[in-house]
Structure 1
Amino acid sequence: MAAVLNGFSYTGHKQTITLDWKSILKKCDDFSGPVNGFMFIDFNSIIEQTCPRDTFFDVIGQIVSVRPLETSNHVASKHYIKLTLSNIESVHLKVTIFGTQAYQLSQYLKENPTVNCVVIVMQFVKLNIWDGVGQVKSHFEVTKMFINSDIVEINEYKKRYIIPINVQDGTGTIGLTLFDREAKRLLDISAYELKKIYEAAGDSHALFPVQLNVLKNRKFAFLVDITKYNVNNYNNIYTILKLTEDVSIVSELESKLELMSIESVSLNQVPLESDDVVQSVQKDVISQTDESFTPSTVNKSTATTPGKISTDLKRNLQDIYDVNSGDDLSSTKAKRKSIGDETPLLIPKVEK
């Protein structure tokens, strides 16, 4: 056993085992550990370059796009294929595969054009930074690739289907990702089973499985995860962490949303003289038609007309500040020097 001295480890361990001609190997028939020993890394940590840089790691995902095999270089080991993997959270990761494995993947895709879901495992890949974004690439013959192989990791991955849903409120619509565990709790059927039923139905005029009808006319409160990847890449698909139908929670969120909507419209339009004026203007600026809120400037009372508001605003400013001339407040004119009591200083008044 010797220490890793070159600063780069294939497995992440700091020691390596060296075999010589005296070493004896025996087959183990009752090994209980993992067969392949995968060390999967989260896609976001790769993209944001927070993953390990001094060791290889593994990735698993579904192929969502692939480019043709590039063979322009006269050296076969430098021929490559570029593809995009998507994980369970719908995060996309760019992957570059070189050499014989690039040919292997290209051949598989040509021979299996009807396979809709191609899940691959890339073992022993390296971080590759391109244009400030983290990607992965294979490393000569060190990297191992499993394409839709009958191994535990790929079989389990295929069962973890997700349901993309659109959620709408008064402010707009957002896309969310519902995991299988939550789908089963809501629908009393897993997303994997739902997919099988939908595939078995074949061509149908239905837009969606009838099992989804149980979601009609129901309101949910969602706790979502907004990652750096969402912000930096303008990705508007967010993962659901929790959801609930609790009436008190949903009602509280709706009341806050309505209050925020009213305040955002009326904040810069009303002189805050009294509660009566604020309440009156709030009723004027918001007109409700059916189930939507529409900003309106209808003058329903002389106390809240634009002319009245403007006059009141000027009067309020004059009450707060002692101003004899507008020249002292100009940003383009030089301020005149005070001579005696002719030009008094600007003295703020505190309103009670």
Structure 2
Amino acid sequence: MRKFVVVDKKARVRASQVKWSLLFCNRTVVQEVEVPTFPLEAFRFRTIPELTSSTLVSEYELFDLVAEVVGKEDLRELVTQTGKETKRMAINLQDLEKNTIRCTLFGTCVDDLAPLMEQERSEPLIVVLHFFRVNRWDGRTSVQSHFDISKVIVDANLKEV
């Protein structure tokens, strides 16, 4: 990368606790370098017990989670504070140790998962939640997608699988 600026993130909404951010401008040049031994899909996996502990994961941190979908609520239409129409769906997730956590999906994450939840399945529905964040409200902890960057990866649609 060339011609970028390093800025203090105090004035921006934080997606992590890192103090500095790279700011690209119209003169920034990024050249892709292919190194087959370097994994391009980087994951920061967290466990459900880590997420439910109020001290281990910040509300600003984006993380990844692997779990089985064990329940869902009906899909709802909603309008955001900025006036954007989108969808919202809540699901229940469970890990191998039977720990559970509620997850709220928005926008394209709902579009990716909702059709699969309607299908008849003989195997559990395993999901990888990529770039999600923790939400603590009213004494409860849940996870939720970020409107712009979160992805729901289902079953074998992941290159590493």
TM range (shorter): 0.7 to 0.9
Letter paired with 2:51: I
How many angstroms does 1:8 deviate by? 4.7
1:24 equivalenced with 2:29 (yes/no):
yes
Aligned to 1:54: 60
Q: Which runs of 5+ in 1 are unaligned?
A: 156-352
Quote the Cα distance in structure 2 between the aligned partners of 1:139 and 1:83.
Answer: 15
How many angstroms does 1:10 deviate by? 2.5
Letter paired with 2:113: L
Quote the Cα distance in structure 2 between the aligned partners of 1:146 and 1:22.
Answer: 34
Aligned residues: 150
1:145 equivalenced with 2:156 (yes/no):
no
Q: CA 1:86–1:129 in structure 2 vs 1: closer, same or farther (change >3 Å)?
A: same
For the residue of structure 1 that corresponds to 2:27, the secondary structure is: coil
1:63 equivalenced with 2:87 (yes/no):
no
**Is the CA contact (8 Å cut-off) linking 1:125 and 1:138 kept in structure 2?**
yes
Identity of aligned residues (%): 18
CA RMSD of the aligned region, Å? 2.2
Q: CA 1:137–1:109 in structure 2 vs 1: closer, same or farther (change >3 Å)?
A: same
How many angstroms does 1:11 deviate by? 4.5
**Is the CA contact (8 Å cut-off) linking 1:126 and 1:136 kept in structure 2?**
yes
Aligned to 1:37: 42
How many angstroms does 1:12 deviate by? 4.3
Q: How does 1:13-162 map to 2 (within 5 A)?
A: 13-50=18-55, 51-71=57-77, 73=78, 76-77=85-86, 79-110=87-118, 112-148=119-155, 149-152=157-160, 155=161
Letter paired with 1:114: R
Larger helix share, 1 or 2? 1
Quote the Cα distance in structure 1 between the aligned partners of 2:21 and 2:122.
Answer: 40
Quote the Cα distance in structure 1 between the aligned partners of 2:19 and 2:41.
Answer: 19
Quote the Cα distance in structure 2 between the aligned partners of 1:15 and 1:134.
Answer: 28
**Structure with greater Cα Rg:** 1
Q: CA 1:13–1:33 in structure 2 vs 1: closer, same or farther (change >3 Å)?
A: farther
Quote the Cα distance in structure 1 between the aligned partners of 2:98 and 2:73.
Answer: 20
Larger strand share, 1 or 2? 2
The TM-score normalised by the length of structure 1 is 0.39
Quote the Cα distance in structure 2 between the aligned partners of 1:113 and 1:76.
Answer: 29
**Is the CA contact (8 Å cut-off) linking 2:89 and 2:110 kept in structure 1?**
yes
Letter paired with 1:120: V
Higher relative contact order (CA 8 A, sep 6+): 2
Aligned to 2:3: none
Quote the Cα distance in structure 1 between the aligned partners of 2:67 and 2:142.
Answer: 14
Quote the Cα distance in structure 2 between the aligned partners of 1:39 and 1:29.
Answer: 22
Letter paired with 1:69: L
How many angstroms does 1:47 deviate by? 1.8
The TM-score normalised by the length of structure 2 is 0.79
Report Cα offsets for 1:65-123 as digits up to 9, x if no partner.
1222122x35532x21111111122211110001222122112223x422522211222
